[in-house]
Structure 1
Amino acid sequence: MPQATPLLRLLNLLLTPGMRTRTDPDAVFDGILAEVQRGRVPLTDADLAAVDGLRLLLADHAANPDLSGLGWMSTQDQIRDRLRNRAVVRDAQATRPGVREEPVTAPVFVVGLPRTGTTLTYHLIARHPGNRGPKLWEMTNLGLPLPAAERAKVIEKTRKRFATVGKVSPAWAHLHPLVAESEEEDFMLRAHTEMFATWGPAPRYLEWVKGADLTEDYRFLRDALQVIAAGEAPDRWVLKHPMDLWRLPEILRAFPDARFVWTHRAPSAAVASGCSMAEATQVMYTKPGRIDLDRIGQEWLEISAGGVERAMTLREQLPADAVVDVVYDDLVAEPETVLRGVFDRLDLDWTPVDAATLAAATDRTGHTPHRYTLERYGLDETQVAKAFAGYEIPASTLS
């Protein structure tokens, strides 16, 4: 069970005075917006409209009576990162206009609920020679490519920043280790995702993002990738985020030649894992003893089941070869066979580098499995099966 560490309790105590600003979240948002634009090209009205949903997100968390001092600071930091991304990219485009012409060819999006094999699949495709995914240090320090010495300093700063996260919430670090030089999820570049609800209750934001058209958000993702690799474009970008699963048409409007790799697993494991992730996150954002586990269960079940249902409907609108399916049980049983098949569908040759990457990724020496159950979050197998009644996992392709 995730618990508040002594360091977390100390940080919450020290940050309590800063909680006073919650009374005027609009003023806080406007202050952050002015801060990130200072010394840069001002954001356009279109840019401001694209990020304005984050104002609602900030207000939702400000209204949470159980929000902790660290939670309020972290909420602001996360929103600051997204607004800064927008300002940095627009400034880079203004000072180096050619960056808009950087190629982003046939990107691959690995989509699927948590604990369905997305990370293994993502790393194998992203680390194929010529491919790459955006690294954690790049997304949290967005900008044009840096000289080697300066890049090393930024990477080290990123390591220290996320090492602190591990000390504050060891459960989160175990669930999803944040490694500075490793590929991370694309929502760290974009503005909007239901994932923000893992910080704590955000009902108005969730309702807003559920009905939002995020095409522009994915167009901005393209812009950000062009800035990250200006002059060093890979053969193929590879991206990953669970909530990309129900945004396929929006992604295709931004990346018309995108391909998708959809990982499938029995929903109960994915839902329980998602709940566990939300709990581990809320330990950092919520006052001790105030986490509502049943709320987490109901909210994550609705997000997951509703998203998969939407994804299945949207898939029917896509070209037949746009999506490559991966069955989790097959991936666990015969990872090389399955991944070779994925590579073949993506027109990628299997190389010794890929074999070595797979061997390293599947080496579980010293690994302690994370335990989670539906019952902890007020759910059971029957509820999950009913919610996912229309979802059919593809048949095994193994003989």
Structure 2
Amino acid sequence: MPQATPLLRLMNLLLTPGMRTRKDPDAVFDGILAEVQRDHAPLTAEDLAAVDGLRLLLADHAANPDLSGLGWMSAQDQIRDRLRNRAVVRSAQAQRPEVRDEPVTAPVFVVGLPRTGTTLTYNLVARHPGHRGPKLWEMTNLGLPLPEAERAKVIEKTRRRFAAVGKLSPAWAHLHPLVAESEEEDFMLRAHTEMFATWGPAPRYIDWVKGADLTDDFRFLREALQVIAAGEAPDRWVLKHPMDLWRTPEILRAFPDARFVWTHRAPSSAVASGCSMSEATHTMYLKPGRIDLERIGREWLEISAGGVERAMALRDQLPADAVVDVVYDDLVAEPEAVVRGVFDQLGIEWTPTDAANLAAATDRSGHTPHRYTLERYGLDEDQVAKAFAAYEIPASTLR
């Protein structure tokens, strides 16, 4: 069970005076917006409309009486990062207009609920020679490519930043290690995702994003990738985020030739894992003793089951070869056979580098399993099965 560390308690105490600004979250949002535009090209009216949902997210957190000092500061920092991304990309496009022509050809989106094999699959496809995914350090320091010496400094700064997160919440660091030079999830570049529910209750924002058309978000993702790799475009970009699973129409409007790798596993494991992840993040954002585990369970069951139901319905609208399925149990039993099958369907040649990447990724020596249960969050197998009644896991692909 995640616990507030002494360092986390001290940080919350020191940051308590800053909580007074919660009284006017609109003013805080406008201040952040002015700050990020100060040294960059101004955002267009279309940009401002695309990110305005974050104003609602900030207001939801400001209204939460259980929010901690660190939680309020972190919510502002996360929103600042998203707004800055827009400003940086617009500045880069003004400085080097040719970046708008950088190729982003047939990107692969790895989709699936948490703990269904997405990370393993993502890393292996992204690390194939000629492919790449956006790195953590690139997404948290978005900009045009840097000279090698300057790049090394930024990577080191990113390492220190996320090492500090690990000290504040060892549980989060165990659940999802944040490695500066490793591939990370594309929502760190985009503005909107239901994943923000892991910070703490944000009911109005979650209702809003559920019905939002995020096409602009994914078009901006394309522009951000063009900036990251200006002049150094890979043969293929590879992206990952669980909530991309039910955003295929928006993704295809931004990336018409995109392919999807959908990982599947019994929903109970995915829901319990999502709840555990949310609890670990709540520990950093909320005051000690204020986490409502049953609310987390209800929310993640609704987000996950509702999203998968949407994804199942949307799949019928996709080209027949747009989706490659991966069954988690198969991936665990025979990882090389499954991953080579994925590569074949994507038209990727298996190489010795891929074999070495697979061996490294499946080496579990020194790994401590992550433990989680549905019951901790007020759920049971029957509830989950009923919520996911429309979801059919594909039959085993192994022969």
Q: TM-score, normalised by structure 2?
A: 1.00
Question: 5 Å matches for 1:217-366?
Answer: 217-366=217-366
Residue 36 (1) aligns with residue 36 (2): yes
Superposed counterparts of 1:1-399, under 5 Å: 1-399=1-399
Q: Match of 1:84, as an amino acid?
A: R
CA distance in 1, matches of 2:353, 2:40: 41
Counterpart residue identity of residue 236, structure 1: R
SS at match of 1:237: strand
Shift of 1:295: 0.2
**Runs in 1 of length 4+ with deviation above 2 angstroms?**
none
Matching residue's letter, 2:10: L
Q: Distance in 1 between matches of 2:78 and 2:158?
A: 15
RMSD: 0.3
1:32-77 deviation per Cα after TM superposition (whole angstroms, max 9, x unaligned): 0000000221101000000000000000000000000000000000
SS at match of 2:239: strand
Gaps of at least 5 residues in structure 2 are none
SS in 1 for 2:390: coil
Structure 1 distance, partners of 2:272, 2:197, is 16
Letter in 2 for 1:178: L
AA paired with 1:194? E
Could you tell me how far apart the structure 1 residues matched to 2:165 and 2:377 are?
Answer: 24
Aligned equivalents of 1:167 and 1:43: distance in 2? 36
Paired-residue identity, %: 88
* Alpha-carbon separation, structure 2, partners of 1:197 and 1:58: 12
Letter in 2 for 1:81: D
User: Which segment drifts farther, 35-44 or 246-255?
Assistant: 35-44
How many angstroms apart in 1 are the aligned matches of 2:397 and 2:316?
21
How many angstroms apart in 2 are the aligned matches of 1:270 and 1:240? 16
What amino acid is aligned across from residue 288 of structure 1 in structure 2?
Answer: P
| Residue 6 of structure 1: how far off its partner (Å) | 0.3
Q: Distance in 1 between matches of 2:53 and 2:327?
A: 35
- CA deviation map 1:2-52 (0-9, x unaligned): 000000000000000000000000000000000000022110100000000
- For 1:350-388, what per-residue CA distance to the aligned partner results, in whole angstroms no more than 9, with x for missing partners? 000000000000000100001000000000000000000
Report the number of matched residues: 399
Counterparts of 2:270 and 2:154, CA distance in 1: 34
1:249-280 deviation line (CA, Å, top 9, x unaligned): 10000000000000000000000000000000
CA distance in structure 2 between the aligned counterparts of 1:327 and 1:52, rounded to whole angstroms? 38
1:321 match: secondary structure: coil
Please give the alpha-carbon distance, in whole angstroms, between the structure 2 residues aligned to 1:7 and 1:358.
Answer: 37
Q: CA deviation at 1:314?
A: 0.4
- Name the SS for the 1:61 alignment partner: helix
Structure 1 unpaired stretches of 5+ = none
Kindly state the Cα deviation for residue 397 of structure 1 after the two structures are TM-superposed.
Answer: 1.2
In 1, the alpha carbon distance for the partners of 2:41 and 2:372 equals: 47
2: CA distance between counterparts of 1:39 and 1:8? Answer: 32
Q: Which deviations, in whole Å up to 9, do the C-alpha atoms of 1:184-218 show, x marking residues without a partner?
A: 00000000000001100000000000000000000
Letter in 2 for 1:238: V
For residue 238 of structure 1, give the secondary structure of its aligned residue in structure 2: strand
